[in-house]
Amino acid sequence: MGSLRVTLCAIAALGAVAVTPAAYAADGGVSVSPSSPRPGGDIALRLSGCARQTATAVSTAFAADARLTAAADGTLVGGSRIRATLTEGTYDVRVACGGTSRTGAVTVVGQGARPAAPVPADGGGTAHAAAVDARAAGPGTAHTVTGLVLAGVAATAVALRSARRRREPR
């Protein structure tokens, strides 16, 4: 029974890894969200693979340097604001982690690329278009893998329960 539990834990762990979106660069680089903000917009920063509890992210795109602090999952997280006077372009983001430097990038888009003011709550004509686009896209790979992992876990649980009931005296 012990090896079965280990197997189930391994399957669950692999499933979790498979459906987790790739938020970080393969080398543990800096992740910026959204990756294409507009001038004056707020951004969130994440850094994985750094053993430090704090770090500072710097970029010419930032209004002020971003202080990153340790999160529960071991990553460093923080935020900053894009300078309101910034022009379109891609800007480097650098974080010093101990003796190494990690890098990422933020691509600032122009004011016309995103709405500068809130959209009315009814959505106007764009609400229907967004709903149609979302339905047309359908479930992706992550949804498929999640479904397969959940189906496998459910089938294993049913098989274990059935096997346990067969062994119990009546």
pLDDT tens-digit readout, 88-110:
999 999 998 888 888 889 999 98
Predicted pLDDT of residue 77: 93
- pLDDT(2) > 70: no
157 CB contacts (<8 Å, ≥6 apart)? none
- pLDDT(153) > 60: yes
Q: Which of 58, 60, 127, 136 is nearest to 97 (CA)?
A: 58
Lowest mean pLDDT among 33-37, 112-116, 151-155, 156-160: 112-116
**Cα–Cα distance for residue pair 92/59, rounded to 1 Å:** 6
Residues facing residue 67 across a β-bridge = 56
CA of residue 40 relative to chain centroid, distance: 22
**Cα–Cα distance for residue pair 157/142, rounded to 1 Å:** 22
CA of residue 132 relative to chain centroid, distance: 25
Reply yes or no: is the peptide bond before residue 37 cis, omega within 30 of 0: no
- Three-state secondary structure call for residue 94: strand
Confidence class for position 139, pLDDT limits 50, 70, 90: confident
Instruction: Provide the Cα torsion 47, 102, 82, 107; round to 10°.
Output: -100
Domains of the chain from N-terminus onward: 22-115 (2.60.40.10)
Predicted pLDDT of residue 78: 93
**Cα–Cα distance for residue pair 83/61, rounded to 1 Å:** 6
- pLDDT(52) > 90: no
Instruction: Provide the Cα torsion 132, 134, 138, 144; round to 10°.
Output: -160
Predicted pLDDT of residue 24: 36
Predicted pLDDT of residue 5: 59
Q: Which amino acid is at 43?
A: I
> For residue 31, what are the CA distances in angstroms to 23, 90, 96, 152?
6, 14, 14, 32
